[in-house]
A = this chain, B = another copy of it.
Amino acid sequence: MGVNRSTVGSLVSELSDRGFVCERAPASQMVPGRPSPVVEPREDGPTVLAIEIATDTLGAAVVGLGGSIASRTGVDRARAWRTPAETLDELVALVGPMIADCGRSESICAVGISVPGLVRRRDGFVHIAPNLGWRDVPLAELVQDRLGLVVPVLSGNDADLATLAEHTRGAGVGLSDFICLWGEAGVGAGIVAGGRQLSGAAGYAGEVGHLPVNPDGRECHCGARGCWETEVGEEALLRHVRSRAADSGRVALEYLLADADRGDAEALGAIAEVGRWLGVGLVGLVNIFNPSGIAMGGLYGRLYPYVRDAVTTAIAERAIRASRGLVTVTPAALGADSALLGAAELAFAPSIADPTRVPRPARPLRAGPSGTVVGGHTAEQYQGGGAAAQRSA
């Protein structure tokens, strides 16, 4: 790194003081000279609270450096529109006991929230989350207030966060040009180009579900016609099969996948039709981005074994010749946890960029006004942290 021994020493001290790392003596000394201590992340070091708000589930975890999950919780929800306030009530009920049980509340230095919607980068404001029925929700701010948090709260789009996690420690590790296609009720993608994740002018980049692929296609909830999502989204998948359950969404999807597993022709036909359209859109993404890797996550991670051949054949036969040989399609590596772990990465990002943001002395547990207890620091220690800091960033 081009810095001398004493500089390394003082940098490590700063990290060590804030509980990020610990130093231990080396196991054996193979070279002459003064032995260098081994620096490693502390298992009891700083953590973040990661929250995943999905259409059919709520999940949360306390996550340490390196994506290690210290504690987790989650609940299924029947698919229905809920107000942000209702969801916040559910979150408080879910998160409070988990944090109390895990006994590490004072280590939480930030909160990250994954949400299936368009999230403005600068302040975590949710412009629209169609499958939650939300529009114009200052989510990061609401969560900070409702959970009584004094630590920074950041929020991001689920596909973007899944991509962040897959790029950091999943299917996209080491790839400078990488796409993670993400299906939940809706369809999106996170895009890494030249080593950096795209956000667009305001944070709304990656809405690949609204690529126009079929001029004679169905109307999309976005107001356009024939969007990719209308051909490959969950609703498109399920409309090809007779409804087996009064419940839509997740439950119907599980029935469909179980049917496919045992070779049911209707289920396999539905998946094949979606696979065909997946190929169409992925060819377009390969042509636009010349990626070296595409990961399929969420719904598409589940479908991957069935659509792999259709998708790889489409790319091999129809993507432009120069780019098609350079790309590999894989399932997302972190399974169902991509978006949740991405929320953790989002929350850690400011502290990793500047560890001196994390206050040195972790103070005793402090109760927030609503009774949920998170974080051992005062707001002043963060110098206007939280949603306010995100807004001014």
* Residues of A that sit less than 8 Å from B by CB: 118, 120, 127-128, 175-177, 191, 193-194, 196, 198-208, 210-216, 222-225, 280-281, 283-284, 287-292, 317-323, 326-327
Q: In the assembly, what is the distance between CA of A211 and CA of B214, in Å?
A: 12
Interface of A is mostly: loop
CA distance A24 to B319 in the complex (A): 55
Whose C-beta in chain B lies nearest to the C-beta of A120? B322
Q: Among B207, B323, B327, point to the contact of A323 (Cβ < 8 A).
A: B207
User: 11 other contacts beyond A128-B322, A202-B326, with CB at 8 A cut-off?
Assistant: A175-B201, A177-B205, A193-B193, A198-B289, A200-B289, A201-B291, A204-B290, A205-B289, A205-B290, A210-B284, A214-B215
CB <8 Å contact, A212 and B280: yes
Contacts of A287 in B (CB 8 A): 207-208, 210-211
Q: Provide the residues of chain B in CB contact with A191, threshold 8 Å.
A: 288
Question: What are 10 of the A-B contact pairs (CB < 8 Å)?
Answer: A127-B321, A198-B289, A199-B290, A202-B326, A204-B322, A208-B288, A210-B287, A211-B287, A223-B317, A224-B319
Query: Residues of B contacting A213 with CB < 8 Å?
Result: 212-213, 215
Report the separation of the CA atoms of residues A214 and B175 in the bound assembly, to the nearest whole angstrom: 31
Contact status B281-A212, CB under 8 Å:
yes
A318–B225 CA distance with the chains assembled, in angstroms? 8
- Is the Cβ of B223 less than 8 Å from the Cβ of A318? yes
